[in-house]
Amino acid sequence: MDYLVFAGNSNKKLAQSIVSKLGMRLGDADVRKFSDGEIFVRINESVRGRDVFLIQSTCAPAEEHLIEMMIMVDALKRASANTVTAIMPYFGYARQDRTSEPRVPITAKLVANLLTKSGIDRVVTMNLHAGQIQGFFDIPVDNLYSSPVFDVYFRENGMHGEDYVVVSPDAGGVARARAYSKLLGTTLAIVDKRRERANVAEAMHVIGDVNNKKVILIDDMIDTAGTLTQAAKACIEHGATEVYASAAHGVLSGPAIERILDSPLKKVIITDSIPFDKAVSKIEVLSVASLLAEAITRIYQKESISSLFATGQV
């Protein structure tokens, strides 16, 4: 295989899993800090004329991981790599995709500009918070979906059919929930919530029938878990017997874990797009290594990867 896979420090465990699936090793690079905090990168093997895949989630600390990634790209380009494809399991700043109030930036667009200017030739990411972010780039962007991974998990655990109902925790996720309900053969419901300010949400009532049903709450990410836990509480109050939740990205910041443990949620299923090494009884982590490894193989072999996101919105 005439390509190399490198990784920054944001999610080394996932990167190691990906290269194991590919039957290769991670490229040799030093990525560290000077004593004053500046990031230093040195590529320790030749990349001249080779296609390179760089794995880096821009999760917290987002700024550090973003700068680290751009410095690595610069190093690879100056070492004459043929192409650099950024594998970004989690794309940070994706929620800042529009001017929702006066005098605020569109940071997702700024990040897209920074990545493009750094020399990246292609971006592969997963479950973008807003699909239109693909249009912020002037280079190819592949937005994969975690649905194949969750579909296998749900079916292996019997979480499908008429005993279950897929619920969107807010109006913005209806398309995603509808796709999952079709995939799993369930009915669909929506939790109507009112958001007062960022990271603070109040669940109001449930649109749809969850009475005597097992609920699967579907979201793209879980940050402080306020929306999710209030949605779970609303479903229980409307007669649901059990409530599960799944999300591609487990940001889990601030009081998230405490809220999940204190909530009616029976289990929360996330992926390893963001590293999560804590042992929390209610949280289960699924790996997307096989999905991303398959994407890398197809891109290198110049094959279509459309089948990896053919279901769309999930």
Residues with catalytic function: 193
Cis status of the peptide bond prior to 61, with omega within 30 of 0: yes
**30 marked as binding residue:** no
**25 marked as binding residue:** no
**162 marked as binding residue:** no
Q: Which two tokens stand for residue 219?
A: 């979201």
DSSP structural state of residue 283: E
Angle between the N-to-C axes of helices 289-300 and 12-22, in degrees from 0 to 180, rounded to the nearest 10 = 60
**H-run or E-run covering 243:** strand 242-250
**48 marked as binding residue:** no
**142 marked as binding residue:** no
**227 marked as binding residue:** yes
**96 marked as binding residue:** yes
How many residues appear in the chain? Answer: 314
Q: How far is Cα of residue 15 from the mean position of the Cα atoms in its chain?
A: 14
CB 10 within 8 A of CB 56: yes
**163 marked as binding residue:** no
**173 marked as binding residue:** no
Measure the CA–CA gap between 156 and 110, rounded to whole angstroms.
41
**195 marked as binding residue:** yes
Question: What angle is formed at CA 286 by the lines to CA 280 and CA 290, rounded to 5 degrees?
Answer: 155
Torsion angle (degrees, nearest 10) of CA 283, 132, 293, 64: -70
Q: Which of 214, 210, 211 is nearest to 157 (CA)?
A: 214
**225 marked as binding residue:** yes
Q: Which two tokens stand for residue 275?
A: 């590293």
Q: Which residues are annotated as a binding site?
A: 36-38, 95-96, 129, 170, 195, 219, 223-227
| Binding site residue list for Mg(2+) | 129, 170
Binding residues for ATP: 36-38, 95-96
Residues forming the annotated binding site for D-ribose 5-phosphate?
195, 219, 223-227
